[in-house]
């Protein structure tokens, strides 16, 4: 038995070493850079400079929240209807839902941008119909639309999975016991698929709040979100420290919101550990 335990103890060693070196240590370096100046001296200057970025944070949180809520409003009924489809149709719909998720985000964002752009297909169609052009790329609406378009499947899939696990007899029982359609939804279906909603919300909110490609392309560089700010600050070694502070704040913000979200579901169905 001695050899057995030795082998098992050693089995996790590479993993532990890797985790400490490449997950824990980088996080400590973020903290270190956040608390020092460009010369490596201890400093609170970065933290006090955060106040300049308050608006960027507020804008990012607002955009991500709006995109998440709209994704939920569109995605929940979609997942519900998809779960009602039978066998093959349902499987095909699932493949169609997953295809964009497997497709690189850059490609999808780029495709959407060129469709909506001033010289794009949408505007040339509107123009030829005599309706005039609409500007979407470069506006707040464009960026939020990009987030919704890119991340909607991430909202639908976990809710859909929760829906398919839901025992259809519960719904019949609710109807038999005199629930209306609305009551069945609010008292049976929604509470039982809440874990899917929590996963979906997290999977839309986190990439939305941290994106920079969507705001670069659909915001045409005019809209500055937290992601853009971090990306820009890390182009230049002299601003690494401020970038580290902003990354740290965003990380803390996300950890708090995920913890709050997890309160809505019981421990068994946690989204993230």
- What part of residues 188-217 is at the interface with other proteins (CB under 8 A)? 206-207, 209-210, 212-213, 217
Residue with tokens 């991500």: 64
Question: From its phi and psi, is residue 131 left (phi > 0), alpha (psi between -120 and 50) or beta?
Answer: alpha
Cβ atoms of 159 and 76 within 8 Å: the answer is yes
Q: Is 102 in the site for other proteins (CB under 8 A)?
A: yes
Could you say which residues in the range 230-249 bind other proteins, by CB under 8 A? 230-231, 234, 237, 240, 243-244, 247
> Could you say which of 103, 134, 190, 256 contacts other proteins (CB under 8 A)?
103
Where in 147-195 does DSSP place strands (E)?
A: none
CA distance 13 to 25: 16
Q: Which of 38, 50, 66, 93 binds other proteins (CB under 8 A)?
A: 93
CB nearer other proteins, residue 197 or residue 248: 248
Provide the token pair at 115: 């469709």
Length of the chain: 273
Choose between 162 and 247: whose C-beta lies nearer to other proteins.
Answer: 247
Window of 54-62, 135-143, 145-153, 260-268 that interacts with other proteins by CB under 8 A: 145-153
Please give the residues from 24 up to 63 whose contact with other proteins meets the rule CB under 8 A: 24-27, 29-30, 32-33
Q: What part of residues 149-188 is at the interface with other proteins (CB under 8 A)?
A: 149, 152-153
What are 255's two structure tokens? 């950890």
Residue 226 near residue 209 (C-beta atoms within 8 A) = yes
């Amino acid at each position: 038995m001695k050899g057995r335990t030795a082998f098992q103890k050693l089995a996790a060693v590479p993993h532990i070493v890797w985790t400490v070196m490449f997950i824990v240590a980088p996080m400590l370096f973020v903290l270190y850079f956040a608390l020092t100046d460009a010369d490596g001296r201890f400093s609170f200057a970065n933290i006090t400079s955060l106040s300049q970025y308050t608006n960027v944070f507020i804008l990012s949180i607002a955009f991500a929240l709006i995109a998440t809520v709209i994704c939920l409003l569109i995605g929940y009924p979609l997942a519900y209807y998809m779960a009602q489809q039978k066998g093959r149709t349902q499987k095909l719909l699932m493949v169609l839902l997953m295809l964009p998720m497997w497709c690189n985000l850059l490609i999808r964002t780029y495709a959407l941008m060129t469709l909506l752009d001033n010289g794009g297909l949408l505007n040339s169609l509107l123009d030829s119909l005599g309706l005039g052009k609409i500007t979407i790329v470069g506006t707040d609406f464009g960026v939020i639309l990009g987030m919704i378009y890119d991340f909607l499947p991430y909202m639908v899939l976990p809710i859909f999975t929760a829906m398919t696990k839901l025992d259809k007899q519960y719904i019949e029982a609710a109807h038999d016991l005199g629930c209306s359609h609305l009551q069945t939804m609010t008292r049976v279906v929604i509470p039982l698929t809440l874990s899917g909603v929590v996963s979906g919300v997290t999977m839309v909110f986190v990439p939305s709040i941290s994106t920079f490609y969507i705001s670069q392309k659909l915001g045409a560089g005019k809209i500055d979100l937290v992601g853009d700010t971090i990306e820009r600050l890390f182009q230049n070694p002299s601003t690494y420290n401020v970038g580290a502070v902003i990354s740290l704040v965003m990380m803390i913000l996300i950890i708090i919101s995920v913890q709050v979200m997890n309160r809505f579901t019981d421990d068994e169905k946690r989204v993230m550990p």
